Chains A and B, each alone.
Chain A
Amino acid sequence: MAQVARSMEKLISADAKDIQPPAAASVVGVSKFFGKTSVLQNISFDVAEGEALVLLGASGSGKTTILRIIAGLEQPYTGKIMIHGKDVTELPARERGVGVIFQSYALFPKMTVEKNIGYGLRIRKRKRKEIKKTVEELLSLVQLEEHRKKYPSQLSGGQQQRVAIARTLAYDPEVLLFDEPFGALDAQTRTRLRREIRDLLKKVNVPAIFITHDQEEALELGDRIAVINVGNIEQIGTPAEVYNNPATEYVATFLGAANILEGVVRKDYVEFGGAKIAARIDSEKFTEGQPVKLIFRPEDVALSMTQELPSGHSCFAGAIVEETSFVGAYERLRLRLDPAGGNSCDTGDTPYYLTTETPESQTAKPIIATRPKPETMAVKLRRGDRVFIGLTSFTLLPKDLRPMAGTETSR
């Protein structure tokens, strides 16, 4: 019996292999200790061919450590690294064919731009002609033709970075690893280089892993984003998925601003004085009376002086405007749930509601909302105004249950 089961398993896994080509690079169940402190806990993710994956996390979350383990500069405690389906965990850095763009670029100071770019080919003992040709192509690819004879110290940060990229592209790396590539640059240059690198990567079609703690950078650079929190991947998905459907509270707050309210799931329950929102709730994940967290973005809040909200908004609660401020492209409002205002939103006949558990404590928590300029012009709001709040979209997470389990998004 057991034998049959095993051969069946084999069959199935062989099938799966046929269907899915191996990822460009995979991290499989990697954990890492420095001394007795655990820095990474059972990390797994894949990078597909031509994909740009961003590892996003706070300082000290273990991003650089993951990168160094992939590159072979650090050994994992458990788990393995696969590159194009080949287990490279035991291979030294120089045999992995990975391109690392270090945070400080790590250009060789005593070599010119040309020499830096040709280094990988020279140590591979390629023919001089071939090296010259490749260097020439790369110089034009990264637009550094006129700087070829300069030394790294004579280049700007952005130029140094391009040399660092060209230096790795010279030997056709299997995957590119960028450690905070824009950390040392000013905001304007960052944005420009980000686009440049993105275009460049699409052109050369090499899969890449970026490290950053800048959410804007992550959203713009990544085909997918992995959010890392103290050595764990909290969520991995496309920028839209991660932003719109955060799997955990950490993801919601780390990636963009988020309002978080605590509430309870109720059925056929109307409570005057407490805020409530209609939600299609997956009864497998949430039960009546279960404490939950309601997470929504400032831009998902719709405001109305009357109960009438634009279609597609779930009416949520009455609130009082506490403060308005103009922040460039939009207006930012601080609101507080109206303790006396009641909730007369028409909840229709949705079977489940979310109500705030303890109105007193929740009303103490401000809600941040933003409104686009045209709307600010049409309906002027001032401190003290009573409004109704509706939500375009929000996320429900079970309270105190971490991570991933039982997430539910409602629209």
Chain B
Amino acid sequence: MSSMIPTMRHVRGFDVARPLSIGMLVLMMLPLVFLPLASIFLFGTSQGLTSFMESLTAPEAVFALKLSMVTSFWATLFNVIFGLFAAYVLSRYNFWGRNALIVTISLPTAIPTAVAGFALLLLWGPYGTLGRFLAPHGIQTMFTAGAIILANIFVTFPLAFGVIKPVFDTMSRSLEEASATIGATRVQTFWHVTLPSLRGAIVSGALLTFARAVGEFGSTILVSGNLAGRTQTAPLYIFAKFNEGQIEAANAIAIVLALFSFLIFSVLFFARDWLDVD
């Protein structure tokens, strides 16, 4: 009987604002988020599954997807290792200009991606500050897969760092000190003690970086030259096919990218507990 009391109180104290505000939230998200996403899937499959598969297996489409994955992979690898290193240095050592450095690392997120791409061109392009010394030797950095990786690194630079640094800051120094008194070298301590505690942060940082890199458009279109079958990433492919009026072709890749990002986000969302297991 006593278990009735909380229920009763709940019913009596019924909050009208609750269903109303939840309903409004969903209603607002409908045209802004849900419907655009839904239409990708509705439209993409409207011509039947065979035409969808055909668009998906077109050589240029497959190449674009592969290129996106590979370039994003290398950018992610670099940025996670760099982020780890930067977080270690910036949370373990106190030095003059430390805060300025932290702000600078975070800066690339605030720069428009087109500006980032443009800046890279001005540096590495055939007539760029550095590029003009390389060009005579036949070294071409821009308009290659390497350029795409460079652009990806630039625009996703602070993501992994931003996830890893707070974990470093809150990690108790006494763990590392304990490891040292037990007899471990710095490298052993980092490998056996520090790194395991960062596992969750490293995985989330990597996933975030990767998701962001795969979708990168603004900087990529400037530095890659957008050459189909050579430097065309998946988002560029979507853009190109759309311009050519091949809506189904664009749509098939769009579905793949959308599903891919869903996947990454569900891993991030549901694997939180697993990643931080003690």
Q: Which residues of A contact B (CB under 8 A)?
A: 71-73, 92-100, 102-104, 106, 108-111, 119-120, 122-124, 151-154, 167-168, 171
Once A109-B197, A110-B278, A152-B278 are accepted as A-B contacts, the answer to whether A94 and B192 lie under 8 Å apart by CB is: no
Determine the chain B residues whose CB is within 8 A of the CB of A111 once the complex forms: 196
Of B69-77, B137-145, B173-181, the one touching chain A: B173-181
Given A110-B278, A123-B188, residue A100 in contact with residue B196 (CB < 8 A) = no
Cβ contact within 8 Å between A93 and B192: no
Q: Tell which of B172, B178, B199 has the most Cβ of chain A within 10 Å.
A: B178
Q: B29 in the interface, Cβ–Cβ < 8 Å?
A: no
Report yes or no: A120 in contact with B182, Cβ–Cβ below 8 A: yes
15 examples of A-B residue contacts, CB within 8 angstroms: A73-B177, A73-B181, A94-B180, A96-B181, A102-B174, A106-B172, A110-B197, A119-B184, A120-B183, A123-B185, A123-B188, A123-B192, A151-B278, A167-B182, A171-B182
Once the chains bind, are B184 and A123 in contact (CB under 8 Å)? yes
A119 near B197: Cβ-Cβ < 8 Å: no
The 3 closest A-B pairs by CB, nearest first: A110-B196, A106-B178, A106-B174
B119 interfacial by beta-carbon distance below 8 Å: no
Complex Cα gap A153–B197 (Å): 13
Are A106 and B175 touching (Cβ within 8 A)? yes
B167 within 8 A of A: no
Shortest CB distance A331–B (Å): 45
- Cβ contact within 8 Å between B182 and A123: yes
Chain A residue contacts of B40, Cβ below 8 A: none
Q: Cβ of B193 < 8 Å from any Cβ of A?
A: yes
Contact B184 A109 (CB under 8 A): no
Query: Smallest CB-CB separation from A108: which chain B residue?
Result: B193
Instruction: Give the shortest distance, in Å, between A100 (CB) and chain B (any CB).
Output: 5
Expressed in whole angstroms, the minimum distance between the Cβ of B278 and any Cβ of chain A is: 4
Q: Which residues of B contact A (CB under 8 A)?
A: 172, 174-175, 177-185, 188, 192-193, 196-197, 199, 278
- Do B172 and A119 touch (CB < 8 A)? no
Q: Are B185 and A94 in contact (CB under 8 A)?
A: yes
Q: Is the CB of A94 within 8 A of B197?
A: no
CB of B186, distance to nearest CB on chain A (Å): 9
B193 nearest CB neighbor, chain A only: A108
Contacts of A98 in B (CB 8 A): 181
Whether the Cβ atoms of A119 and B180 lie closer than 8 Å is no
B184: which of A71, A94, A154 is its contact (CB, 8 Å)?
A94
Residues on the B chain within 8 Å of A106, using CB: 172, 174-175, 177-178
Q: Which residue of B lies closest to A151 (CB)?
A: B278
Counting chain A CB atoms within 10 Å of each CB, the highest count among B181, B193, B278 belongs to: B181
Q: Add 20 more A-B contacts to A94-B181, A94-B184, A110-B197 (CB < 8 A).
A: A73-B177, A93-B177, A93-B180, A93-B181, A99-B181, A102-B174, A102-B178, A103-B174, A104-B172, A106-B172, A106-B175, A110-B196, A110-B199, A119-B179, A119-B184, A120-B182, A123-B183, A124-B183, A171-B182, A171-B183
Question: Across the interface, do B183 and A92 meet the contact criterion of CB distance under 8 Å?
Answer: no
Q: Which residues of A contact B172 (CB under 8 A)?
A: 104, 106
Which of A71, A72, A123, A171 has most B Cβ within 10 Å?
A: A123
Query: Chain A's nearest CB lies how many Å from the CB of B117?
Result: 40
Q: How far is the CB of B177 from chain A (nearest CB, A)?
A: 5
Query: Roughly how many angstroms separate A21 CA and B13 CA in the complex, as a whole number?
Result: 79
A92 CA / B174 CA spacing, docked (Å): 16
Task: Return chain B residues, CB-CB under 8 Å to A108.
Answer: 175, 178-179, 192-193, 196
Given A94-B181, A100-B178, A167-B182, A109 contacting B278 (CB threshold 8 A): yes
CB distance from B193 to the nearest CB of A (A): 6
Q: How many Å from the CB of A169 to the closest CB on chain B?
A: 11
CB-CB < 8 A to A109: which residues of B? 175, 197, 278
Complex Cα spacing A106 to B194, Å: 12
Q: Given A73-B177, A104-B172, is A97 in contact with B183 using a C-beta cutoff of 8 Å?
A: yes
> In whole angstroms, what is the CA distance A154 to B277 when docked?
12
Question: Which residues of chain A have C-beta atoms less than 8 A from B193's C-beta?
Answer: 108
Instruction: Identify B181's interface contact among A72, A103, A110, A153, CB under 8 A.
Output: A72
**Hey, which chain A residues are within 8 Å of B185, CB to CB?**
94, 123
Question: For residue B182, which residue of chain A has the nearest CB?
Answer: A120
- By the criterion CB–CB under 8 Å, are B180 and A73 in contact? yes
Chain B residues contacting A171 (CB-CB under 8 Å) are 182-183
**Nearest chain-A residue to B176 (Cβ)?**
A106
Question: CA separation between A100 and B179, bound complex, in Å?
Answer: 10
- A163–B178 alpha-carbon span in the complex (Å): 13
Contacts of A110 in B (CB 8 A): 196-197, 199, 278
A23 shortest CB reach to chain B, Å: 20
- A residues near B183, Cβ cutoff 8 Å: 94-95, 97, 120, 123-124, 171
Which B residues are in CB contact (< 8 Å) with A103? 174
Q: Which residue of B lies closest to A179 (CB)?
A: B174
B199 CB contacts on chain A under 8 angstroms: 110
CA distance A167 to B172 in the complex (A): 18
Chain A neighbourhood of B192, CB < 8 A: 108, 119, 122-123
Which residues of chain A are within 8 angstroms of B175 by Cβ–Cβ distance?
106, 108-109
